[in-house]
Amino acid sequence: MAQVRAEYDFEAQPNSGEMTIAAGEILTVIRENIDGGWMEGRNVRGSVGLFPETYVTPYQASRSMPPVNSLSERKKILF
């Protein structure tokens, strides 16, 4: 599933189906393009709700370099 990163804080309205999000938070997208500009997503705590799609940007976790096993491979990287 796609993930997004919150760029801004958003405060949900009570009993609206919205979800409060904080800038920097990573959310898993459940549905997109809901009622003109909303997304439905899940946060790391398991809460599900709607948030404005203009408050988030696509997110991809950075991949670390694969481990270097041999001495010759290490030298190639260092020199």
Question: Whole-angstrom Cα distance, residue 64 to residue 74?
Answer: 16
Question: Is residue 76, in this structure, part of any structural domain at all?
Answer: no
Single-letter amino acid, residue 30: I
Here the tokens at position 36 are: 């003109």
**How do the pLDDT tens digits run along the chain, 79 residues long?**
899 999 999 999 999 999 999 999 999 999 999 998 999 999 999 999 999 999 999 998 776 655 555 555 555 555 5
**Total structural domains in the chain?**
1
Q: What is the CATH number of the domain that holds 57?
A: 2.30.30.40
Question: Is residue 66, in this structure, part of any structural domain at all?
Answer: no
Here the tokens at position 56 are: 């988030």
- The sign of the torsion formed by the CA atoms of 15, 18, 22, 23 equals negative
pTM above 0.85, yes or no: no
Among 62, 49, 45, residue whose Cα is nearest residue 10: 49
